[in-house]
Amino acid sequence: MELQAVLMAAGGGSRMTDLTYNTPKAMLSVGNRPLIWYPLNLLERVGFDEVIVITTKGVQKMMSADLKLKKDVKMKLDFVCIPEDTDMDTADALRHIHPKIKTDILVLSCDLITDVSLHDVVDMFRAHDATLAMLMSKAHEFTETVPGQKGKKKTAEQRDFVGLDQSGKRILFMANEVDLENGLSIRKSILTKHPRIFIKTGLVDAHLYCMKKEVVEFLMDNKSISSVRGDLVPYLMRKQFSKTRTCPKLNDDADEQSQKRSDSSTNNELLISSPDDPLLQLAQELSCWNDHHGDMSEAYHGGKLRCYVHIMDQGLCFRVNTLAAYMEVNRLVPKLLFEEPAVHPSAVISERCQMGSDSMIGAQCQIADKTSIKRSTIGSSTTIKEKVRVTNSIIMQGVTIEEGCNVQGSVICSNVVIGRGSYLKYCLVGSGQRIEPAADKTNEVIVGTDQMMEI
Amino acid sequence: MDDNGASDESGKKADIERSKSEGKELSKEEKQRLRKEKKQQKKNKDKKDEAAKPDGGAGAPSPSHKSPSSAPGADAPVAPVEPAKGKAEPTAEKRPRRDSDRSSKKRDGGQQQAAASVAKPKVPPGELQPVVKRLPEHVQVDDPVVVKKWAKKLERQQIPLRSDYGYKVSLFSHLHQYSRKAPLTQQVSIPSSVIHPAIVRLGLRYSEGIVTGSNARAVALLHTFKQVIRDYTTPPTEDLARDLINKLKPYISFLNQCRPLSASMGNSIKYLKKEIANIPSHCKEDEAKSKLLGCIDSYVKEKIILAAKAIAEIAIEKISDGDVILIYGCSSLVDRILCEASRAGRKFRVIVADSRPRLEGREALRRLVRRGVGCTYVLVSVISYVLPEVSKVLLGAHALLANGYMMSRVGTSQIALVAKAFNVLVLVCCETYKFCERVQTDSFVSNELDDPDNLIVTRKGRTQLARWQDVRSLGLLNLVYDVTPPDFVDVVITELGMIPCTSVPVVLRVKSVNL
């Protein structure tokens, strides 16, 4: 077996609490499918047969109840439930499932929606025998107005500084602006090996990591690392340039053994050599390939720990962890799902309804006459009465919109009732709410009072 | 398999086709007739070979076994067939069991298949026996029939087919030309289940160029095969030897598509297959596996590591103080010789000739300079200017062919030619495991085409060839190998000593006798 997929679906969606206070993030509906379907679909398309899904009991129950999901996803899902009250982060979760891990792993987050060809990432992992291979994408500006937001979003604090080598494939360091108060400092050991570094700020991390099995072993020994993205990945990047004892140019077995013993224990885990390493070492020595030119060191500068990144410049790659991302993704998702018709066959749509081609209608909807639906996603079991205009909005399941409403640029969560003649512009209506008739709301977040107390 | 066996019998072919198309059930008479014919042929063969080894219940009275009813007696006609060579004998016991399985499944096809598979191990070509069809050794991509056969073979082995890329120069249109941007792994599922993951990695490393050089490729291949053998378990009904070889065949096709196999790899595979076939069938699986792993280790040790050491020792004799040595590209063996010579205290300097697009000389340069050897770096276009000061030319070879020609990186024959014109000594270093039985006199028939996009280079911000595909009359040719005639090579240094180029067939003959 080559790779095991691990899907982290226990996250809470802390940056979009208005959407997630009733539904867990993994089950938020995007394009009339639960969010978790997208990474599962990606894995299935690529050829995985089974996935380890780390999630909460609630999500597992919802997923088992969702028959459509069961039908669509043919892979075997191995659920590992984490109790909700423990403060377990992603690396802790990996430690938790350590007995199940037998080979290298591919860790994904449940909020990743992408159409990347995974072999780009995995090929780098395979070809260069990397310890870590990750995926990043050019960040998209979210241009649509987000309900409930006053003023422009401050993007400066969120910037990640990513340092790449000359080929653009190896990632040398990654630092968030928040952590850099005085400036970005680059160690000399990095600069001597890579005199040309490209520093990029417009990249977003897709949270898709391909890691060697030894990394999980390493996690077992180092319990202080709790988050994959926050602690483990930067640590691995730093360790690429840590001072290993210089590798002798002509390796014999004896030298290698003593060198390994003298290494620190952490390095030992990461440099675990298979019993056949002498042959592989010999092959690399005899091969006349080098990944860099101009200095006197051999391929990879003799470093055994390598981190690679694949940067997508075309195609979709989104992490649905903010409201803006959620709205953007809903608009783009119809392009992703071409095999499914935009309009579900069981929806009842009257002929006098004007529906744009980029809208999606879920199952068992009822759409009456003289309605106009443009660039919107309508969830299942929704009822839309006459003379309603829905533009640029996301309407989840079980919603009832009475006659004469005008919903623009809004997010209406599940089981909401909107009274007749309302005009909602750039609003976010939490689930289960009722909007009184003839309401006129602009740029408001309407959630239940009990939710307001949660903060 | 059964198609091959049956179709080669010219007389029967029409009958069998007809009856197969009619009802998939040959009549009893036809089956009997078929078997009789096969028996006759085998009898003739047996008489010639004098391999009288009566099995239990076998022996001469084979015709008498045919008279009882055909169908249930599927085992009987097959069992008495005596294997001519002793090697096939242990498998004869397995054959009745396997054939009875087959016959219980589908009777008509089973007998053909049984008879044909028995016929196969006795190969003598040119007899009435069915001749085993092999795909031609030379690649023929421009022949659609061959391409279709090749595609069918790959489909059977469940290996994806890699498609060619770009316009090929007409003289080389019979060779494959792949693009690095479309690796074969795109069509392999991500946790690769059909192909062993180590083989996928190796194939990727070959196609990306991370493992280059015939020695490196052979060693990496053997390392990967060791992993495959370690992870291999024999299915309960199969023979380890046969099944393991069958498992390795698709992997070899896969690697061939990632990058055409080198001569060193080919010879290593032949050796490994021979070793696997030689495993006695009574051997337990663990024992057999450890034996094979040991064989691989000893092969690498003898043929590559120790051979390199021996060659270095012999070659150092030829290097004297004050020498100016010209090398071309990066050969692991030449690098080793020069490093040893430098360590032995010889004072010499080196001129490294290099060529685009690979620019492998940079790596050779790095290794030599690191050792402290004084080097000059030139491109191959100026060798006629540097040759007057050169005392020896030291070249590495990819393979030595049976007619004395040497196959090496493209540009080597150029250097040998110019060196000959200047009367400079040309030494070629090559281990004997790279000697191959092919015969070639030109560089066209069998070569390798690399990715044409590698020729595109950006200078001062301008990429002239970026749109080469739009220009109809433009073709980019990126050859990898060329062939040097033996007249330009003065001596070949092998671990057997210094031999002239024309002695290669002698070495090959001696090797095959020893095997």
Residue A284: list chain B partners with CB under 8 A: 211, 216
Give A-chain residues touching B192 at CB under 8 angstroms. 2, 47
pLDDT reported for residue A428? 85
φ/ψ region of B457 (left if φ > 0, alpha if ψ in -120 to 50, else beta) reads: beta
Two tokens, residue B440: 């070639």
Cross-chain CB nearest to A3 (options B191, B300, B360): B191
CA distance B346 to B344: 6
Question: Closest chain B residue to A283 measured between Cα atoms?
Answer: B216
How far is B329 from chain A, CA to nearest CA, in Å?
9
Q: Which residue of A lies nearest to B210 if distances are taken between CA atoms?
A: A289
Residue linked to tokens 């079991």: A381
Cα three-residue angle B87-B115-B20, rounded to 5 degrees: 155
Q: For A56-118, where are the E strands, in sequence order?
A: 76-81, 104-109, 112-114
**ipTM surpasses cut 0.90:** no
Contacts of B305 in chain A (CB under 8 A): 282
- Residue B185: list chain A partners with CB under 8 A: 119, 122-123, 126
Taking Cα atoms as reference points, which of B21, B24, B508 lies closest to residue B270? Answer: B508
Cα gap A6→A210, rounded to integer Å? 10
Task: Check B220 against A280: CB less than 8 A apart.
Answer: yes
E strand or H helix at B4, and its extent? helix B2-7
| Residue B129 and residue B221 in contact, taking contact as beta carbons nearer than 8 Å | no
**CA B309 from centroid of its chain's CA atoms:** 25
Contact A48 B190 (CB under 8 A): yes
Contacts of A249 in chain B (CB under 8 A): 370
Mean pLDDT, rounded, for B267-285: 91
- Candidates B186, B188, B190: best to mutate against A (most CBs of A within 10 A) is B190
> Residues A325-350: what's their mean pLDDT?
77
Residues 6+ apart with CB under 8 A from A25: A9, A11, A12, A13, A16, A35, A110, A111, A320, A321
* CB neighbourhood size of B415 (10 A): 26
Instruction: State the pLDDT confidence band at A349, using cuts at 50, 70 and 90.
Output: confident
How far apart are alpha carbons A212 and A129 in whole angstroms? Answer: 9
Q: What is the mean pLDDT of chain A?
A: 82
Backbone phi, then psi, for A308, in 5-degree steps? -120, 155
Quick one: how far is CA A420 from the chain centroid? Answer: 39
Mean pLDDT across the stretch B477-490? 95
Here the tokens at position B315 are 């070659």
Closest-CA distance of chain A to residue B217, Å = 7
Q: And the tokens for A344?
A: 């579900």
Q: What is the pLDDT of residues A107-166, one digit of tens each?
A: 999 989 998 999 999 999 999 999 999 999 988 777 777 776 655 555 545 788 999 999
Question: What integer best gives the mean pLDDT of chain B?
Answer: 81
Q: What is the CA radius of gyration of chain A?
A: 25
Contact B395, B325 (CB under 8 A): no
Strands B323-328, B348-354: pairing is: parallel
Across the interface, whether the CB atoms of B197 and A283 are under 8 A apart is answered: no
Beta strand pairing call for B425-429 and B491-494: parallel
pLDDT at B316: 95
pLDDT single digits (tens) B96-114: 555 555 544 544 444 444 4
Q: Which among A49, A127, A288 is the nearest to B204, CB-wise?
A: A127
pLDDT band at A339 (very low <50, low <70, confident <90, very high): low
Spell out which chain B residues touch chain A, with contact meaning CB-CB distance below 8 angstroms.
183, 185-186, 188-193, 197, 200-201, 204-205, 208-213, 215-217, 219-220, 222-223, 226-227, 300, 305, 329-332, 360, 362-364, 366, 369-370
Residue B454 C-alpha, separation from nearest chain A C-alpha, in angstroms: 15
The pTM of this model reads 0.80
Amino acid at B364: A
Q: Tens digits of per-residue pLDDT, B417-427?
A: 999 999 999 99
Neighbours of B226 (CB within 10 A): 22
pLDDT per residue as tens digits for the range A195-220? 999 999 989 899 999 999 999 999 99
Structure tokens given for B349: 């300097």
Reported as a pLDDT band with limits 50, 70 and 90, residue B48 is low
φ, ψ for residue A394 (rounded to 5)? -120, 120
- Both tokens of A228, joined, read 């994959």
